[in-house]
């Protein structure tokens, strides 16, 4: 569980969580020494042309902001001015194994909080404006240099009619110039502005989403609606004459209040909701189904090579409840350790397990394999 010390400078993950996480910004010079990025500007532009990749181009000419949504083609890039724009590509970890490896260095933060790795490319002057994110974010500099300014300001007025949320009155309180390998951690709702100072500035944003209370509450109530079947009918054998036929009586309100107070849930409803909710793939995620294979054939493969989660897969567990890509996954008690390892490390070497365990594992993961959620 412990990350290499350099990633957090001189801090251990324990100190970082105690003093900085969700509390205050932290600049780490040379968090990843010699880091020059995981992909070239051309490779990033190539990804931005694909159907299942979420990408945006933001232009900031003078006070004029424009946003174009991908997928893009070559002409979109040739039409761009020399300076003052950014290309932002989401979920690079779904497409690049090296990006998934980079994220594993952040395993000191639970996967349940991870959103994605976004990579941006900008020529000189490129920026998405001063803004707030509802994310904890680690801004890791790849190639080039970016100047970051931050402000804990309370003036949240936005520029009217801009195509993205940009703060109207940003007043920088601190600033740093980040070079390749430097990293800035920002807690949610810290105003920030990053401007490219180079021709090829690439920034890697490792984002940990802080879900809104409203989102969690609405999500849970929706989940509850699908998982409870309250019995009975509204009863009013004690009905008395009302003065106003159109009035919803106090009696009726009280009866329904009692009915609602009978709705109950426990921790297992909550963990069931969280497991499904937090592993639900984003709408643009596509899995490649695996060609049909029998459970026996699958078990034989497990005896030969490790199995991994697909890059797009999200797997979480709570005690013995497992979830993968928005669905619960039934796991026999004797496989709980192995399945926890698969979720933690995103891969599992089952070659040294007994034949019986390999067969049980094949049976447990067969549907996930066919769906393309796991692969060899």
Residues in the site for ligand SIN, rule: CB under 6 A?
86, 120, 128, 133, 137, 192, 194, 203, 205
Min dist. Cβ of residue 34 to ligand SIN (A): 21
Min dist. Cβ of residue 17 to Co ion (A): 21
Min dist. Cβ of residue 344 to Co ion (A): 28
Q: Which of 355, 279, 348, 291 is nearest to 315 (CA)?
A: 279
Q: Tell me which of Co ion, ligand SIN, none is bound by residue 93, counting a contact when its beta carbon lies within the kind-specific cut-off of 5 to 8 angstroms.
A: none
Q: Tell me which of Co ion, ligand SIN, none is bound by residue 56, counting a contact when its beta carbon lies within the kind-specific cut-off of 5 to 8 angstroms.
A: none
Q: Which is nearer to ligand SIN, 120 or 338 (CB)?
A: 120
Min dist. Cβ of residue 131 to Co ion (A): 6
What does R_g of the chain's alpha carbons equal in angstroms?
25
CB 324 within 8 A of CB 281: no
Q: Which residue is nearest to ligand SIN (CB)?
A: 120
Q: Tell me which of ligand SIN, Co ion, none is bound by residue 60, counting a contact when its beta carbon lies within the kind-specific cut-off of 5 to 8 angstroms.
A: none
Q: Which is nearer to ligand SIN, 43 or 344 (CB)?
A: 43
Min dist. Cβ of residue 91 to ligand SIN (A): 14
Q: Which is nearer to Co ion, 15 or 189 (CB)?
A: 189
The contact set with Co ion (CB under 5 A) reads: 133
Q: For strand 347-348 and strand 315-318, is the pairing parallel, antiparallel, or unpaired?
A: unpaired
Instruction: State the DSSP string of 272-336.
Output: HHHHHHHHPPPTT----PPPP--HHHHHHHHTTS-EEE-TT--EEEETTEEEETTEEE---GGGH
Q: Which two tokens stand for residue 59?
A: 């232009």
Other C-beta atoms lying within 10 Å of the C-beta of residue 173: 11
Q: Tell me which of ligand SIN, Co ion, none is bound by residue 182, counting a contact when its beta carbon lies within the kind-specific cut-off of 5 to 8 angstroms.
A: none
d(CA 148, CA 251): 61
Q: Tell me which of ligand SIN, Co ion, none is bound by residue 203, counting a contact when its beta carbon lies within the kind-specific cut-off of 5 to 8 angstroms.
A: ligand SIN
Min dist. Cβ of residue 124 to ligand SIN (A): 13
Q: Tell me which of ligand SIN, Co ion, none is bound by residue 366, counting a contact when its beta carbon lies within the kind-specific cut-off of 5 to 8 angstroms.
A: none
Element holding 89 (H helix, E strand): strand 85-89
Three-state DSSP state, 115: strand
Q: Tell me which of Co ion, ligand SIN, none is bound by residue 142, counting a contact when its beta carbon lies within the kind-specific cut-off of 5 to 8 angstroms.
A: none
Min dist. Cβ of residue 345 to ligand SIN (A): 28
CB 279 within 8 A of CB 314: yes
Q: Which is nearer to ligand SIN, 203 or 325 (CB)?
A: 203
Residue linked to tokens 């697909």: 310
Q: Which two tokens stand for residue 67?
A: 């946003």
- The overall longest dimension of the chain from CA atoms, in Å, is 83
Q: Which residue is nearest to Co ion (CB)?
A: 133
Q: Which is nearer to ligand SIN, 7 or 206 (CB)?
A: 206
């Amino acid at each position: 569980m412990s990350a290499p010390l350099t990633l957090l400078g001189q801090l251990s993950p324990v100190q970082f969580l105690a003093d900085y996480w969700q509390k205050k910004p932290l600049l780490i010079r040379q968090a990843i020494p010699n880091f020059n990025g995981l992909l070239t500007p051309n490779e990033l532009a190539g990804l931005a042309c694909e159907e299942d990749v979420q990408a945006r181009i933001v232009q900031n000419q003078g006070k004029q902001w424009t946003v174009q949504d991908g997928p893009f083609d070559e002409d979109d890039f040739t039409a761009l001015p020399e300076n003052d724009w950014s290309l932002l590509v989401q979920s690079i970890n779904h497409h690049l194994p090296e990006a998934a490896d980079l994220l594993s260095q952040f395993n000191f933060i639970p996967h349940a909080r991870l959103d994605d790795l976004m990579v941006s490319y900008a020529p000189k002057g490129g920026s998405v404006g001063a803004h707030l994110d509802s994310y904890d974010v680690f801004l890791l500099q790849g190639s080039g240099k970016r100047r970051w300014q931050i402000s804990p300001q309370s003036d949240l007025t936005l520029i009217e009619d801009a195509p993205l949320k940009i703060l109207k009155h940003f007043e920088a309180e601190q600033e740093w110039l980040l070079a390749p390998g430097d990293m800035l951690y920002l807690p949610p709702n810290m105003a920030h502005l990053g401007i490219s100072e180079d021709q090829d500035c690439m920034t890697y944003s490792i984002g940990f989403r802080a879900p809104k209370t409203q989102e969690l509450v609405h999500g849970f109530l929706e989940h509850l609606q699908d998982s409870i079947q309250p019995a009975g009918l509204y009863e009013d054998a004690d009905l008395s004459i009302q003065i106003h036929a159109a009035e919803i009586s106090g009696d009726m309100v009280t009866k329904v209040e009692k009915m609602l107070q009978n709705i109950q849930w426990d921790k297992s409803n909550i963990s069931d909701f969280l497991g499904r909710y937090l592993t639900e793939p984003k709408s643009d995620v596509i899995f490649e189904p695996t060609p049909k294979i029998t459970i026996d054939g699958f078990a034989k493969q497990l005896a030969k090579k490790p199995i991994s989660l697909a890059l797009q897969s999200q797997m979480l567990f709570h005690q013995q409840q497992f979830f993968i890509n928005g669905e619960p996954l039934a796991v026999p008690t004797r496989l709980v350790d192995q399945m926890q390892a698969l979720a933690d490390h995103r891969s599992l070497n089952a070659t040294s397990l007994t034949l019986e365990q390999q067969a049980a594992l094949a049976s447990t993961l067969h549907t996930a394999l066919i769906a393309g959620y796991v692969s060899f």
